[in-house]
Structure 1
Amino acid sequence: MPQQEESYSLDAMLEAANIERLDEADRIYSHEVREIISSKPVWIVRNGIAMFFGIIGLLFTLTFFIQYPDIVKAPVKIVGDNLPKQIISKSEGRIVYLNALENKKVIVGDVLAILQSNADYKQVLLFKKWIDQTELDLKGNNWNAISQLATLNQLGDLQKNYQDIAQQIYQLSWAKTKGYFNQKRDAIAQDIRLINLSKENANNQKQLILQDLAMQQGVLDINEKLANEKVIAPLDLIKDKSTVLSKKQQLVQVDAADINQSANIVAKQKELLEIEKLNADIQQNFIAALFNAKSALTEWSNRYILVASETGTLQFASYFQENSWIKTGQELFYIIPKQPTYFAELIASQQNFGKLKQGQQVNIALNSYQRNEFGVLQGTIINIPQVPYKDTSFLIKVKLTKGLQTNYQKPIHFSNSLTGTADVITAEASLADRLLYQWRGLFAR
């Protein structure tokens, strides 16, 4: 007998559950449950798993296009071939004279400011001007062009040098055109002329004596013959001999006078040599005093006068004015040379040093300029040394391709302490490549 087919109708279910009224079935299946059971699921529920794997596949595909280069980080410092020059105070005191203007063109040697000292800077500048002009005169060996030194009595530490030069100028005046030395030379030259005239006169006198002596000698010879023949008395012959001896004695006296005159000329020439030596000594002492004063003035200027050490554009390191108090070692000015060239010095450690090569791109984020706001400086490695710079670090030179202009087209104001962090891009790779590197490492093991 065939088995009766089971019924799954609501009535059968109610009968099997021994439920007499319909409201008891409502207690088993609520309206919300019946609504869920009877409703068709939305598409996201029906296809959620497929969508999940599709999104995962899309993300994996994007990893092949998202760039994630290999980067080596290192500290960096901005330097330059012709860096801005600092003007630093070497003493402490007030600014008594300020000649500097912001963004003003200056040349080497321009006075920018003068600090307080125990000397009147105006008199010091006059003293310096006189020394500079005197040096120019001495280069042309024009001693007569040296001007008289003005009266300066507020030179402080330079006062002694001023007194030494003033004393040497007084002695130097002896050598001028109408000075003591020239007058002395003229007097000696006059004495020599008189001595030469006296010598000439003595020479003429000598010639006369020689002529007279020759005649007396002739008379003596004749008388000697007559005395031998007994013509004249011996007494007359003695008188003639005495006359000849007297003439010879006069010749000796004339020669002695000539020797004395020659000795006087030699003495006068020695006086001229002494004058020349004294003149040379005075000139040498003046030059020594001038150099000593110049050295002392240079030392004073280095301490109290701030001058431009470079030709370029002047910039203030801080805000100050005349009568501002300046401390020793304080930075006052910067001189920006014309078209300075900047580059970066990258200090690379041994870690990942083997990845660095010439030509690699470098992005530099400066500590003083936020990366998100200003961007980064871009550069290229142009030199990698063979020997370490310090300990095991290497000093690598990086050329700034756009100078001090960031990739956001914003200029960077240079300072000597401009540092930051460099990102050296050692390999251009995608995110997928970086992920595959990890898998390759695992398989290689």
Structure 2
Amino acid sequence: MKDKDIWLYDESAYIKRKPTWMLRWGVLLLFGFFVMVLVFASFFSYNENLNASLVLTTETPPAHIMSKHTGRILDINNLHNDTVISGDILAVMESTGNLQDIMSLKNKLTLNTTLLSDLTILNKHYPSNLELGNKIRPIYNGFLDAYRNLILYHNLNDKELKEVDLKRQYVGKNLTIQNKKNEILILQRNLEINKTDYDRYVELFEKGVVSLKELERVEKGYLSIQRQYSNVTKELYELNTELFKIKNNDLLFKNSGIRNKSVHASTLEFEKQKLLAFLKEWEEMFVLKSPISGRISYSNIWVKNQNLKKGQVIFTVVPLGNQKLLGRCRVPIRNSGKIRHGQRVIIKLDNYPYREWGALNGTVKTISEVPYPGDNGGYDVLVEVEDLITTYGKTLVFKQEMQGNAKIILAKVSLLKRVFYQFREIWEFEE
């Protein structure tokens, strides 16, 4: 409606009017685009990753030989890249003891189990002029003293003399006791005869056949025999008591001998083990040995008499042969609960730039059950590396403890799920 060039709003005209084709098709296209976005977001997914630093090594890692104390290195037995076996002596640090004397003494104590029986053989087998150093020398002297005491205990004849004397006493007492028993039997028979004779004289005296004097003479003889019998019986009892004492003395002497022998033997064994412990401690401190078989590599040493600091790496022994490749990495605590055995790992080594050489493939082998303590704590993960062929088809040359980055593929999550994760968090807080 137009009144004096002024247009008035007619509500019914706008409500009843149909939308134009452009508006209809625009709404339809917008709805179709939204549906396409939802479909794309539900199908499109990308990996959820966990990044960590990695060190590539083998199933038997290289062994780093470090100095146990500050001092000079006296002997170097191998050259760079020499092959060594487990237990080989690589070098000797400066000390107050002589390596040959100490190692020879250790081998004797470990291998020789036969007990020496003579002081001359002992002095020859374990001489007192060994160069053992200030700490081992007093322990070695204690070992020699214990050994000498045991040898002297075995070689002195006091024990044999005492045993012979006790045996002689035992045999003599037995013979005396047997004689006393025979004497008692004779006295017992004599006492019976005298008793019969005395009874006969009593009857005759009562009949008046014999005089009182004759009766008293017979009675006196009878009492004399009775007194002898009593004395001999008492002597037999005393002899049995002495024999019992001899048996006790013999038993006590034998027990004392066993006890003394056990004491000397125990003291010797104690001193031996104590000496072995000090020898092993000296060996751990001053002798550098290879813990594994492999190829030796020099780290911070060039010549003899070079000064070294405590904890300084001197050699590295690299294992030989083809071994399984393993990657050691420490992952942060965040998202570590999603790590599972067998998950794929993409490894990018610093020695071989990723854009030029490509990456290595691996799988999660194990994950530690407890986190590593400290401010930068995390879980240790072992990654099993398939081979040294990269994703670009190139073969890498392996070197021990190459460093790089590991990308652990945790899961494939669609874009739609990631969007709904945010809303789910909001809903959970509202509830």
Report TM bin, short chain. Answer: 0.5 to 0.7
- List aligned pairs for 1:19-98, cutoff 5 A: 75-98=53-76
Correspondence for 1:303: 285
Pair 1:132–1:412, CA change in 2 (3 A): same
Gaps of at least 5 residues in structure 2 are: 1-45, 420-431
* DSSP 3-state at the match of 2:129: coil
- List aligned pairs for 1:355-434, cutoff 5 A: 360=344, 362-366=346-350, 369=351, 371=353, 375=357, 378-382=360-364, 397-403=382-388, 408-415=394-401, 418-422=402-406
Distance 2:128 2:368 in 1: 64
Correspondence for 1:431: none
Q: How many residues align?
A: 348
Matched, 1:227 2:198: no
Alignment check: 8 A CA contact 2:117 2:151 kept: no
Alignment check: 8 A CA contact 1:119 1:157 kept: no
Correspondence for 2:236: 254
Alignment check: 8 A CA contact 1:360 1:380 kept: yes
Pair 1:355–1:238, CA change in 2 (3 A): closer
Distance 2:103 2:77 in 1: 14
Correspondence for 2:327: 344
Correspondence for 1:26: none
150, 165, 178: which is aligned to 2:127? 150
280, 283, 290: which is aligned to 2:262? 280
Displacement of 1:358: 6.0
Distance 1:220 1:299 in 2: 89
Alignment check: 8 A CA contact 2:177 2:239 kept: no
CA offsets, 1:225-275, max 9 Å, x none? 243112323133213311331232023113312321331231122112111
Distance 1:193 1:309 in 2: 61
Pair 1:361–1:284, CA change in 2 (3 A): closer
Alignment check: 8 A CA contact 1:227 1:234 kept: no
Gaps of at least 5 residues in structure 1 are: 1-68, 428-436
* DSSP 3-state at the match of 1:165: helix
Matched, 1:123 2:107: no
Task: Give me the TM-score of the superposition, normalised by structure 1.
Answer: 0.66
Displacement of 1:407: 5.9
Task: Give me the TM-score of the superposition, normalised by structure 2.
Answer: 0.68
> What percentage of aligned pairs have identical amino acids?
13
Matched, 1:209 2:183: yes
- List aligned pairs for 1:98-247, cutoff 5 A: 98-134=76-112, 137=113, 142-144=114-116, 148=122, 149-155=126-132, 156-174=134-152, 176=154, 179-180=155-156, 183-228=157-202, 229-230=204-205, 231=210, 232-247=214-229
Displacement of 1:214: 2.3
Alignment check: 8 A CA contact 1:202 1:258 kept: no
- RMSD of aligned alpha carbons: 4.0
Pair 1:121–1:404, CA change in 2 (3 A): farther
* DSSP 3-state at the match of 1:143: coil
CA offsets, 1:356-376, max 9 Å, x none? 99665624131xx35389845
Distance 1:163 1:208 in 2: 62
Distance 1:403 1:386 in 2: 25
Of structures 1 and 2, the larger Rg is shown by 1
Pair 1:394–1:266, CA change in 2 (3 A): closer
* DSSP 3-state at the match of 2:73: strand
Displacement of 1:291: 1.4
292, 308, 313: which is aligned to 2:274? 292
Displacement of 1:288: 1.1
Distance 1:254 1:248 in 2: 10
CA offsets, 1:193-248, max 9 Å, x none? 31232123213311331232123213321331243112323133213311331232
Pair 1:215–1:411, CA change in 2 (3 A): same
Pair 1:162–1:377, CA change in 2 (3 A): farther
